[in-house]
Amino acid sequence: MSSSLDPPIEPPCSVCGAPLTANASFCPECGASQRTYRAAPAPRSEGRRWWIPVAIATGGVAALLGGALLGRVLISDPDGDLAGAAR
């Protein structure tokens, strides 16, 4: 007993399980977006670590600058005025 008005098979709402109409971009019951749940692109593992070399480079530059500044402060203060003032 199949009618000619069978709705297209659509997976129910991934949030509340309500039946969805064809090409429904959001759930009519809870309003959850269905496009994001269905067509979520698989994240590329190699595309998520771009910040690691950047962080390393930034940290290295910061360490070099910090060391250079610290060295200059110590070298430019041979009399130990800063150390003396701290006492």
Q: Give the footprint of Zn ion on this chain (CB under 5 A).
A: 13, 15-16, 18, 27, 29-30, 32
CB of 61 to Zn ion, least distance (A): 49
- Residue closer to Zn ion by CB (options 37, 63) is 37
- Residue closer to Zn ion by CB (options 30, 83) is 30
Rounded Cα gap, residues 53 and 42, in angstroms = 23
State the virtual CA torsion across 36, 41, 46, 49 in degrees, nearest 10. Answer: -10
Helices (H) and strands (E) in the chain, counts: 3, 0
CB of 42 to Zn ion, least distance (A): 23
- Residue closer to Zn ion by CB (options 30, 65) is 30
* CA 73 to mean position of chain CA atoms: 39
